[in-house]
Amino acid sequence: MPRPEQRVRKGEQTRAAIIDAALDQAARHGLEGLTIGSLAERMRMSKSGVFAHFGSREDLQIAVLKEYERRFAEDVLAASLDAPRGLPRLSAMLGRWIEKSTREAENGCLWISGAAEYDDRPGAVREELVAMIRSWKDALSRAIRLAIETGELRADTDVSEMIFDIYGVILVLHHDSRLLASPSAGERARLAIARAIDSRRGEPRPAASTTDSLATDRSAA
């Protein structure tokens, strides 16, 4: 008979496997396309077996969003924290975001497809989605402010305006690469981000180096 902690571990593994399958299904058919029935079928489990891990479809949808956020934070944010604060780190984050968006073009970004699904559908899933996007925008704000502090971006840089510009680039990258199957969307996005940075470039203080930032941008792209 398994000891209690083994049972807990097994339960966590099953839950993680269900979320993994659900993430894949949501990427293909949207969070609203996620059903406990089709998930149970795919996992070769009973519906009540899936329900044992998630109280409701809404709980499952939120768990999927949280896992998406965890991976996004790991791939885009955490991986960029090695880069020096200021423009190198901001460029690394933006480069990895474009890289992830390009890689995801086949399935689509859950936050962007979720935006279209939930923008007129109030409820817990929408609230979770909005909170995640706000939190990511906050992380971008911090990175932009650090680049203003180093002097690499001009002191009068409007942070919200810059985020608006950057978000537009990611959204049109997603739109053009998915709906229009445009092969040049990734490269266009990289150039557009470079222009969004260049138009706000300041005179860096001696400690910082703008050539470094370009190198980081390239390696991340």
Report the interface residues with a second copy, using CB under 8 A.
28, 107-108, 112-113, 115-120, 126, 129-130, 133-134, 160-161, 164-165, 167-169, 171-172, 175-176, 178-180, 184-185, 188, 191-192, 195, 199
- Beta carbon nearer to a second copy, 43 or 133: 133
Instruction: Give the count of beta carbons closer than 10 Å to the beta carbon of residue 212.
Output: 17
- What is the rounded CA–CA span in Å between residue 196 and residue 83? 20
> In the complex, what is the shortest distance from the CB of residue 14 to a second copy, in angstroms, rounded to a whole number?
28
- Beta carbon nearer to a second copy, 22 or 208: 22
> In the complex, what is the shortest distance from the CB of residue 65 to a second copy, in angstroms, rounded to a whole number?
13
- Beta carbon nearer to a second copy, 54 or 72: 72
Residue type, position 28, single letter: R
3-state SS class at 200: coil
Phi, psi (degrees; rounded to nearest 5) at 61: -60, -40
Instruction: Give the count of beta carbons closer than 10 Å to the beta carbon of residue 78.
Output: 11
> In the complex, what is the shortest distance from the CB of residue 35 to a second copy, in angstroms, rounded to a whole number?
16
> In the complex, what is the shortest distance from the CB of residue 205 to a second copy, in angstroms, rounded to a whole number?
27
- Beta carbon nearer to a second copy, 112 or 143: 112
Half-sphere exposure of 30 (CA within 13 A, CB side): 9
With tokens 């083994």, the residue in question is 6
- Beta carbon nearer to a second copy, 177 or 216: 177
Distances from the Cα of 34 to the Cαs of 60, 63, 148, 159, 164, in angstroms? 9, 12, 42, 36, 30
> In the complex, what is the shortest distance from the CB of residue 209 to a second copy, in angstroms, rounded to a whole number?
26
